[in-house]
Amino acid sequence: MIELQINRVSVRVANGTTVAAALYLGADGISRLSVSGEARAPLCGMGVCQECRVTIDGRRRLACQTLCLNGMSVETRP
């Protein structure tokens, strides 16, 4: 199992889990929000739509294209 932080909440997922899947499986209250504050989710799952952009360890990344790593910090709020 891998442990990471999503919006400062500790989440444990299986090795090989994408950040997008961890957001879906994660703790209550975790969601990605648009700039206007609306709940958003991945759309295409392959990095084309870029609806799953989050901040991972201080850098903007696509959640659907990024595997979770131990100690990773993910922020979903713009």
State the chain's mean pLDDT as an integer: 85
Q: Are 1 and 16 in contact (CB under 8 A)?
A: no
The model's confidence at residue 27, banded by pLDDT at 50, 70 and 90, is low
pTM of the model: 0.83
Residue 37: C-alpha distances to residues 17, 30, 78 (Å): 26, 13, 9
Supply the pLDDT for residue 49.
81
Strand partners, 40: 32
Pairing of strands 9-13, 32-33: unpaired
The model's confidence at residue 3, banded by pLDDT at 50, 70 and 90, is very high
Q: Does domain 2-75 have CATH number 3.50.50.60?
A: no
| pLDDT (tens digit per residue) in 39-48 | 776 778 788 8
